[in-house]
A and B are shown apart, each in its own frame.
Chain A
Amino acid sequence: MAEKLLEIKELKQHFNVGKPNEVKAVDGISFDIYRGETLGLVGESGCGKSTTGRSIIRLYDATSGDVFYEGENVHGKKSKKDLKKFNRKMQMIFQDPYASLNPRMKVMDIIAEGIDIHGLAKNAADRKKMVFDLLETVGLNKEHANRYPHEFSGGQRQRLGIARALAVEPDFIIADEPISALDVSIQAQVVNLLKELQEEKGLTYLFIAHDLSMVKYISDRIGVMYFGKMVELAPAEDLYNNPMHPYTQSLLSAIPLPDPNYERNRVRKSYDPAIHNYTEKDDVKMREITPGHFVQCSESEFQSLKASAAVK
């Protein structure tokens, strides 16, 4: 596969460290993101998928572990100049387009904020032109530049959020549930836009969501998280056709599909972490079962998964 853009190694993000209410939101996860791909991250609320995204982009200081971007450590000590460079390459699109745009700023200034900080525009006319181009890129037009966020619908606001992220010409975008707050018909518009932009600009996405059918549609590979750990990571097709970890199986069996006949016959599996019967001696970690398909398992589970994969 292509070159690694991002390497996440044993990333841990704990909150309230040392206090009785310590939360291990992300508890040691490792994965790579390749240039030009979309990696989907799914799991139920509270499993740490958003925290993972936020730690990668340094919205939180990681408790331990490293994030390498093109070989450089994101969490290491940085001069202001270095930080700026990173910030320009990595951008984020947030879940709630109502809360992520400043209601007192005009669209022109919201989108140009990044351009100003990084000094990308030569003069005022250049700045204006860049904003107009960005608006066009996301399917809005230049008349929108003089309006305030409240004058836009949810789908349009999410387009503004995307335009703002694109303003500094990033390589890598973390999209944290970018479509969860939108209506079904609008979701498809935004997802199509994200896909078009990826092809046009060669972007790399980390796509965080709980809507599994959308994630499958947009992602090349998908990681499944459960209680701060990644339990399975596989190419999208493979994960859906052949889920190996019992939690992934339970998650997939819970998705209702718009097909009444399928729904009448769907059998839901439930997941109880106790079934693993892990002891302290078991070395539970991510192991590669088939090429590119990783599952968190113990040595004995690894052998049996490998055996059953060979049969298929």
Chain B
Amino acid sequence: MEKILQVKDLELSFNTFGGEVKAIRGVNFDLYKGETLAIVGESGSGKSVTTKSIMRLLPDHSAEFKNGEILFGGRDLTKLSDKEMQKIRGKDISMIFQDPMTSLNPTMPIGRQITEPLLKHQKIGKEEAKKVAIDLLRLVGMPKPELRMKQYPHQFSGGQRQRIVIAIALACNPQILIADEPTTALDVTIQAQILELMKDLQKKIDTSIIFITHDLGVVANVADRVAVMYGGKIVEIGTVDEIFYNPQHPYTWGLLSSMPSLDTEEAKLYAIPGTPPDLLDPPKGDAFALRSEYALQIDMEQNPPFFKVSDTHSAATWLLHPDAPQVDPPATVIERMKKFPGSRYYEGGAI
């Protein structure tokens, strides 16, 4: 498969009054053409910062690239000037934000907001741009698009606003679409509609999507591959089936067990104890070790490298080292592993 974006050894820090916050501490991943890569993790894990650094949306005066590169179309995005970046933003790479209430301009009719990227990036006239915008609105399922072009954001519901934001993001047929928690602010029924819309559109225009969320249900629904982030690093990456049915990192285990499924009946939910690490002074070894009951002595001292589980699946945990003791994951995770051919709990049958 064709690699469309490569993030290599990315390190990024924020300079604050309190000191240097190491928000991203060595992130590596590739994005393939036409796939959806979901990035999951709790707040502060660096998932939004990673995507904002791809878009170069972080403030220059405080955010600083320390190391690594972001390769897109043969160029390193971290080295581009603002002018060059403006040509990419909204054209080749575009973004959908979490809150459709704040990402639209309340003083501008939505028609003008949709035609803006078209007029900026493509050599077309106003009239033609208007036609394209109406088609886009139709594409995202907006009824009576001709009439609605002249309306302002406050005249739309939350779900409709998110459709408009998607229309703007797709205006120039971007190669990469970054969706930062696009459905978190929406109701489940509206969320389901927006997710279906995004999957539909992806098939039509063959764009690659980076989808950030902390809702594992949404991940299971949209993702082809999943990267789990913790403490500014990716701790596990694999196909959606590998992450959900054969997870290897204790943090992924914790995440999967702390969400009740509709048939959870245990008296107590599994809760990951403690709080995320302070990235002003990141822990020396595995950042998750202090919250993990599976931590080994070496986790406190040395950062685990990535161990390969399969060609598409790897995890950064010392538990995968040949010398590590064999441990049993939480019961709910074992239940999941029973369905996965290749895991040691596999009980036969297909997923």
Give chain A's interface residues, CB within 8 Å of chain B.
44-45, 153-156, 183-189, 191-192, 195, 210, 212-214, 216-217, 240, 250-251, 254-263, 266, 268, 270-271
Contact = CB atoms under 8 A, between A and B. Distances in A.
Contacts of A214: 260
B221 A263 contact: yes
A272 to B, nearest CB: 12
Contacts of B189: 44, 250-251, 254, 270-271
A258 B262 contact: no
Contacts of B220: 256-260, 262-263
A191 B219 contact: no
Instruction: Pick from A183, A186, A195 the residue with the most CB of B within 10 Å.
Output: A183
A260 B217 contact: no
B196 A268 contact: yes
Nearest to A44: B187
Nearest to B258: A188
A257 B269 contact: no
Interface residues of B, number: 43
B218 interface: yes
Contacts of B192: 254, 256, 268
5 contacts: A153-B275, A185-B258, A188-B271, A195-B268, A213-B259
Given A254-B191, A255-B217, 4 more contacts: A191-B269, A258-B217, A261-B339, A262-B220
B289 to A, nearest CB: 15
A271 B187 CA distance: 14
Contact of A185 (B42, B245, B267): B42
B188 interface: yes
Given A45-B187, A192-B269, A259 B42 contact: no
Contacts of A263: 217, 220-221
A184 B214 contact: yes
A210 B188 contact: yes
Contacts of B158: 45
Nearest to A255: B188
A255 B215 CA distance: 11
A-B complex: 7 closest residue pairs judged by Cβ atoms: A256-B217, A258-B216, A188-B271, A188-B258, A217-B260, A44-B187, A185-B272
Given A44-B189, A192-B269, A256 B195 contact: yes
A214 B259 CA distance: 8
Contacts of B43: 154, 183
A176 B189 CA distance: 20
B42 A184 contact: yes
Contact of B219 (A156, A258, A261): A258
Interface of B: 42-43, 158, 187-192, 195-196, 214-221, 223, 240-241, 244-245, 254-256, 258-262, 264, 267-273, 275, 339, 351
A277 B223 CA distance: 40
Instruction: Pick from B244, B254, B269 the residue with the most CB of A within 10 Å.
Output: B269
A259 B261 contact: yes
A242 B273 CA distance: 35
Contact of B42 (A183, A191, A192, A216): A183
A153 to B, nearest CB: 6
B261 A184 contact: no
B271 A216 contact: no
Nearest to B45: A183
A184 B255 contact: yes
A191 B258 CA distance: 10
Given A153-B275, A188-B270, A254-B192, A216 B215 contact: no
Contact of A216 (B187, B218, B254, B260): B260
A213 B260 contact: yes
B106 to A, nearest CB: 20
Contacts of A216: 260, 262
Contacts of A153: 275
Nearest to A213: B260
B11 to A, nearest CB: 24
A44 B188 contact: yes
B229 to A, nearest CB: 13
A185 B273 CA distance: 8
A210 B187 contact: yes
Nearest to B224: A260
Contact of A184 (B216, B262, B339): B216
Nearest to B223: A260
B241 A188 contact: no
A270 to B, nearest CB: 8
Contacts of A154: 43
A133 B158 CA distance: 43
Contacts of B219: 258
Given A184-B259, A185-B271, A212-B188, A256 B218 contact: yes
B242 to A, nearest CB: 10
A254 B188 contact: yes
Contact of A183 (B214, B264, B273): B214
B230 to A, nearest CB: 10
A257 B191 contact: no
A77 B351 CA distance: 62
Instruction: Pick from A188, A260, A266, A270 the residue with the most CB of B within 10 Å.
Output: A260
A257 B217 contact: yes
A258 B271 contact: no
A213 B265 CA distance: 11
